[in-house]
A and B are shown apart, each in its own frame.
Chain A
Amino acid sequence: EAGVTQSPTHLIKTRGQQATLRCSPISGHTSVYWYQQALGLGLQFLLWYDEGEERNRGNFPPRFSGRQFPNYSSELNVNALELEDSALYLCASGRGRMDTQYFGPGTRLTVL
């Protein structure tokens, strides 16, 4: 069974640009979760998508957004990039509320 996949592996952007990160969940999973792992800030919950809808978001500004497609894959968009957005962005998938989350390898975003 294929695991969660994320692309790209690395992404380098300059301040003010937009970044798009992609995630494909494990087959059969309908939920996708996004987390940010920034140096010194630990792992922070960003967003939860289930059945195509945004169900919950963490304490992040609106320039962090995303969507989930009919095949349950997901995009995370970060607009107006700031230096502090540099982090490892982890995607996880699961079967919904109160279920185990399985993580992908992450996308390393560097903002210059």
Chain B
Amino acid sequence: AQSVTQPDIHITVSEGASLELRCNYSYGATPYLFWYVQSPGQGLQLLLKYFSGDTLVQGIKGFEAEFKRSQSSFNLRKPSVHWSDAAEYFCAVLTGGGNKLTFGTGTQLKVEL
């Protein structure tokens, strides 16, 4: 069955430090992958997506992610974290014939000033 694993439930980083959030997927075909961010009590905002092509994708707010087929991973990175990046981050894969998102359990990011 298709699934997404985010191994880190909570991550704390200092402002200005680099960030990497891990995501592993299990999907038989070529995956369509996404990262979303959710602030408390809010909806999901799309950060970036991978459909095909260049395996390093750029997103909003200075985020990037790299698709590695051999490792079934799609890790999210940011070179320098800002306090406003504190939120919950969800990795997702498009499944069910391309009409539903299967999400990971999320990673809660805390930023220390």
Contacts and interface: CB of A to CB of B under 8 A. Distances in A.
Contacts, number: 57
Given A56-B96, A103-B43, 6 more contacts: A35-B101, A43-B92, A50-B99, A98-B98, A99-B98, A105-B43
Main secondary structure of the interface of A (DSSP, over half): strand
Given A98-B94, A100-B49, A103-B36, A42 B103 contact: yes
Question: 6 smallest A-B Cβ distances: which pairs?
Answer: A98-B98, A103-B44, A45-B100, A43-B103, A97-B98, A105-B43
Interface residues of B, number: 23
17 contacts: A6-B43, A31-B99, A33-B99, A42-B106, A43-B92, A48-B100, A50-B99, A55-B99, A56-B96, A56-B97, A90-B43, A92-B44, A92-B101, A96-B99, A98-B32, A98-B94, A106-B41
A102 interface: yes
Contact of A48 (B36, B41, B99): B99
Contact of B102 (A45, A56, A98): A45
Contacts of B32: 98
B10 to A, nearest CB: 15
Contacts of B100: 33, 45, 48, 56, 58
A25 interface: no
Interface of A: 4, 6, 31, 33, 35, 42-43, 45, 48, 50, 55-56, 58, 88, 90, 92, 96-106, 108
Interface string B84-113: 000000101010111111110110000000
Nearest to A90: B43
> Which of A35, A43, A50, A103 has the most C-beta atoms of chain B within 10 angstroms of its own C-beta?
A43
A42 B28 CA distance: 23
Contacts of A98: 32, 94, 98
Interface in B68-94: 90, 92, 94
Given A42-B103, A55-B99, A58-B100, A90 B34 contact: no
